[in-house]
Structure 1
Amino acid sequence: MLADSFGRSWTGAGMGRPGVFRKPELDGYEHREFNNALHRLHLLAGRPSLTTMARELQAAGMSRSSIHDAFSSTRLPQWHVVDALLEILASRAPGRTPEQQLESMHALWLGAAEAEQRSISQSAQTVPAAVSRTILLFDIERFGSRSDVEQAALRRMLHDIADRILAAAGIGENRRQRADRGDSVMELIDASASVLTLLRVLLNEMPQQLRAINRMAPSSAQFRLRGVLATGSVAVDNLNGWVGSDLNCAVRLLGADALRERTNDFALCISDPVYQETVRHGHPGIPPESFHRAVVETKEGQMTAWLHTPA
């Protein structure tokens, strides 16, 4: 079976025959019963083609895709689509009046709609609660251009550096979660950990460690890191997946052109909440003037970020 991005499911054989609509693979009993009844009514009506039905429903503003999806999509059609179809199918089908067809089909559609709503409600109840976390991301620049051997070595160094930075900030393994993304790592850090201390370590120790590594390494093993520090709410689901708009924003900052254009060994970007809540107050070791505001273009629109410029 094939399925497209619009939820239409196909079995393959006979696609495109006039007056023939493939039945979708449906999990819910109620939706399946409704879809079966709609297909049977279409059969009893003599299987009018999609073109015929679209022409007769043109005045009602019904598109060909809406008509097709009513029969073949895994999504339950809107009632106004079904109602319009019944007008042309019920009048052609023998044995029952259009009013009787309307009553029975509406009962089946209503049962499917209620079952769909129950499923949505149950899914919403299983969504994990979001918790406040500090988000730290590291990414190796130009990772894909390296050989497999070089990539393996760089990944080991990335994890080692991340471990040392977090340890220097007093953040043990019991206060953080890590996700490995190949050329990057993502850290969710307990909200009780000091953002101030972590940022101070990132500004001072991280550049020193990278410079020391690159000074001793051959040119093929030298590398640069991009980093993002942000805060926000993140949920971890039962598949250990991380979800949350604050996390998405941090990932967008990591790939921003403004950060990629930095030429120092460690290019750091912080989110606007981190700047407003921590940096702008001028704590020792974190001069606000070393950060400059940048407007970052992302898929979701513009975001305000702050880029660190080493002295």
Structure 2
Amino acid sequence: MEGEAAYGFIVNVDAQGSGLLSDTEKPEMRRRLYDVTGTAFEQAGIRPPRLYQEDRGDGILSVLAPDVPPARIVGEWVEQLHQNLRESNRDLRKPLRLRVGLHIGRVTPDAYGRSGRAVDLACRLCDCGTTKAILAAAADAPLVVAVSDRVHEDFVLPGGRWVDPEHYRRHDVDLKEGRTTAWFRVPGRPAPPEPPESAEAAAPEPAEATAPAGAEDTKAGTPPRPPAATDTMGRFVQNIHQHGDGEVIAAERIETLNIDRRGGGR
């Protein structure tokens, strides 16, 4: 019934690097995306009306009925998807590589689709920087799976057919809703590669170049920096090129003071 929330298992799938494809390449990518994911659902025995799907352009949002065992998705569906991708990508110059986000929670249907915080979290896990960085680091892998802490605790840790808890690794990720814990797996590997530490952090601002000592600042109205003292065998020598009268201020004790008054004041 429209507007009545119900629990469901949420599967969000996105294609990695789809933004780099041309308009002529994207239809083929989408055809293969639906083929490998749809075949995996068939192989796992999950079909409409127990399977609801929304097109997301370069991805697919799927919501499963409450009577679908979540362990079947975490185990059999993920494994079938991995094998389907391997077969589909064979000998291709541009292989299809997918990110999958898995979560469970309340989902509200309406005339436009499905919504809810659980849907948001599955999509965020699929699209977060850590998920992208892990798949980028696993250069030969076609798939990365990111599961919520709840899915990991309830359906991964107990194990089961094609469910290997030891193949998952935990990372704390920063999402729009805040920091949360997620678990990652790259099928075909005993453990996912470590993402760069900066996967969820913004790149630091580039440092300003330091002008040579004594050089004039390029900003208008800024006086030139005083020439630096040099350390010679423990004795500090201050070199001054004077262009007027004034004081000499140094942070260290000066053994030798050389003053060039050419053109300066008397």
Tell me the residue number matched to 2:25. Answer: 150
Describe how 1:43-62 pairs up with structure 2 within 5 A: none
Tell me the residue number matched to 1:60. Answer: none
Paired residue secondary structure (2:180): strand
Tell me the residue number matched to 2:82. Answer: 207
Tell me the residue number matched to 2:62. Answer: 187
Describe how 1:13-28 pairs up with structure 2 within 5 A: none
How far is the alpha carbon of 1:203 from its aligned partner?
3.7
Match of 1:245 among 117, 132, 135: 117
Match of 2:164 among 284, 287, 290: 287
What TM-score do the two structures reach when normalised by structure 2? 0.65
Bigger RCO (CA 8 Å, 6+ sep): 2
Describe how 1:1-311 pairs up with structure 2 within 5 A: 128-217=3-92, 219-220=93-94, 222-237=95-110, 239-261=111-133, 262=135, 263=138, 264-309=141-186, 310-311=189-190
User: Which has a greater percent of helix?
Assistant: 1
Paired residue secondary structure (2:57): coil
1: distance between equivalents of 2:78 and 2:114? 27
How far is the alpha carbon of 1:202 from its aligned partner?
3.6
- The one-letter amino acid of 2:38's match is D
2: distance between equivalents of 1:127 and 1:223? 35
How far is the alpha carbon of 1:127 from its aligned partner?
8.1
1: distance between equivalents of 2:51 and 2:112? 14
How far is the alpha carbon of 1:227 from its aligned partner?
0.6
How far is the alpha carbon of 1:286 from its aligned partner?
1.1
Paired residue secondary structure (1:173): coil
Cα deviation digits, residues 92-140 of structure 1 (max 9, x gap): xxxxxxxxxxxxxxxxxxxxxxxxxxxxxxxxxx981211111011111
Task: Give yes or no for contact 2:9–2:63 (8 Å, CA) kept in 1.
Answer: yes
2: distance between equivalents of 1:193 and 1:157? 25
- The one-letter amino acid of 1:229's match is L
Paired residue secondary structure (1:226): strand
Work out the percentage of aligned pairs sharing the same amino acid: 28
2: distance between equivalents of 1:130 and 1:168? 28
Cα deviation digits, residues 237-261 of structure 1 (max 9, x gap): 2x32322111111111111111101
Paired residue secondary structure (1:215): coil
2: distance between equivalents of 1:194 and 1:160? 22
In the alignment of these two chains, the number of paired residues is 183
- The one-letter amino acid of 1:248's match is D
User: Which has a greater percent of strand?
Assistant: 2
Q: Where do 5+ consecutive residues of structure 2 fail to align? A: 191-266
Extract structure 1 runs of 4+ deviating beyond 6 A. Answer: none
How far is the alpha carbon of 1:297 from its aligned partner?
0.3
Cα deviation digits, residues 180-216 of structure 1 (max 9, x gap): 0100000011010111112212442222211121123
Q: Where do 5+ consecutive residues of structure 1 fail to align? A: 1-125
1: distance between equivalents of 2:6 and 2:161? 29
What TM-score do the two structures reach when normalised by structure 1? 0.56
1: distance between equivalents of 2:122 and 2:106? 12
Q: Which has the larger radius of gyration?
A: 2
How far is the alpha carbon of 1:165 from its aligned partner?
1.0
Of 276-285 and 180-189, more deviation after overlay is shown by 276-285
Name the Cα RMSD after superposition. 1.7
